[in-house]
Amino acid sequence: MKKTKVYLNGKIVPFEKATVSILDRGFLYGDGLFESLRTYNRRPFLLEQHIKRLLRGLKVLRIKPPLSAKGLKLAVLKTIAADKFKEYYIKIIVTRGNVAGHGIKQGNVAGKPHVIILVEEQKAYKSQLFTKGWKAMISSIRRPAVPSSYIKSLCYINNILAKMEATKVGANEAFLLDEAGNLAEGTVSNVFIVKFGAIYTPGKDAPILLGITRQLVMKLAKQAAFPVTEKTITPKEIYTADECFITMSGPGIVPITRMWNKKISSGKCGSVTASLLTLYNAETEKK
Give the residue from 170, 166, 176 showing the smallest Cα distance to 238: 176
* Measured CA distances, 208 to 145, 147, 157, 222, 268 (Å): 9, 10, 15, 21, 27
Q: What is the pLDDT of residue 1?
A: 55
Average pLDDT on 26-51 reads 97
| pLDDT, tens digit, 9 for 90 and up, residues 219-255 | 999 999 999 999 999 999 999 999 999 999 999 999 9
Contact 51, 69 (CB under 8 A): yes
Q: How much of the chain exceeds pLDDT 70, in percent?
A: 99
Q: DSSP E strands: which ranges in 104-171? A: 114-121, 134-143
Q: What whole-number distance in Å separates Cα of residue 172 and Cα of residue 279?
A: 24
pLDDT at residue 183 greater than cutoff 90: yes
For the chain, what is the mean pLDDT? Answer: 96
Q: What is the pLDDT of residue 104?
A: 86
Q: What is the pLDDT of residue 25?
A: 96
DSSP-based helix, strand, coil % in the chain, nearest 5: 30, 30, 40
Q: What is the pLDDT of residue 107?
A: 81
Domains of the chain from N-terminus onward: 5-121 (3.30.470.10), 129-284 (3.20.10.10)
Q: What is the pLDDT of residue 2?
A: 56
Give the residue from 25, 1, 191 showing the smallest Cα distance to 94: 25
Give the residue from 76, 2, 74, 14 showing the smallest Cα distance to 39: 76
Q: Which residues contact 68 (CB under 8 A, 6 or more apart)?
A: none
Q: Which residues contact 70 (CB under 8 A, 6 or more apart)?
A: none
